[in-house]
Amino acid sequence: MMTDPRTTARLLSALGLAAGLAACTTTEREHLVKAPTHCVDQTVQVYFDPQSSELTKEGRAVITAAAQGARSCKVTSVEVIGLADAAGTPAAGLEVSQKRAASVAGALKAEGLPAAEFKVAAAGQAGAVTASGQAAPMRRRADIVLHLASQ
């Protein structure tokens, strides 16, 4: 059986390439395929149970993931804004949103983000009711904005 010379040449070329790559050490390949880190701002939200400022397991996971994503970048600033739904009095809403912001900021600092770059605020119930009068239950959260730059 005869084989087309072009097919044989392609096969030998592919085998040569595979053998060449197999001979590379890990550090040589790592240098060749390492993509530059893209440090772009990240916005994440951490949700809370009603009238609570205690981080849930899911909330901690969001914070850990955000901090890990920022590790290879320079953190230029971190904004944490606590929010509350329309339940209760405006004073209680402001208090719980302040506690939520503080809880999230503390967890971010514990993950190693630079404490000096934090801006922490609370919005309370502001915006918790839509223009049509509907309550916005998804306001039981803290918004996190990580401003990142390349190292």
Place of tokens 């503390």: 106
pLDDT band at 98 (very low <50, low <70, confident <90, very high): very high
pLDDT given at position 127:
87
Question: Which tokens sit at 21?
Answer: 């790559």
Domain positions in the chain are 1-34, 42-149
Concatenated DSSP letters of 9-70: HHHHHHHHHHHHHHHS-HHHHHHHHPPPP----EEEEEE--TT--SPPHHHHHHHHHHHHHH
Is the pLDDT higher at 1 or at 59?
59
pLDDT tens readout for residues 68-95: 999 889 999 999 999 999 988 999 999 9
Indicate whether 41 pLDDT > 80. yes
pTM reported for the whole predicted model: 0.73
CA dihedral (107, 111, 117, 118) in degrees, to 10, reads: -10
Report the sign of the C-alpha dihedral through residues 57, 141, 79, 121, in that order: negative
Instruction: Output the CA angle 106-109-98, nearest 5 degrees.
Output: 30
Element (H or E) spanning 97, and its range? helix 90-110
42-149 sits in which CATH class?
alpha beta
Report, as an integer, the average pLDDT of 1-22.
Answer: 48
Report, as an integer, the average pLDDT of 52-63.
Answer: 97
pLDDT tens readout for residues 103-124: 999 999 999 998 778 999 999 9
Q: Are 127 and 136 in contact (CB under 8 A)?
A: yes
> Which of the residue ranges 45-49, 74-78, 128-132 would you say has the lowest mean pLDDT?
128-132
Report, as an integer, the average pLDDT of 21-44.
Answer: 64
pLDDT given at position 15:
41
Q: Is 32 left (phi over 0), alpha (psi -120 to 50) or beta?
A: alpha
Supply the Cα-derived Rg of the chain in whole angstroms: 25
Is the pLDDT higher at 50 or at 7?
50
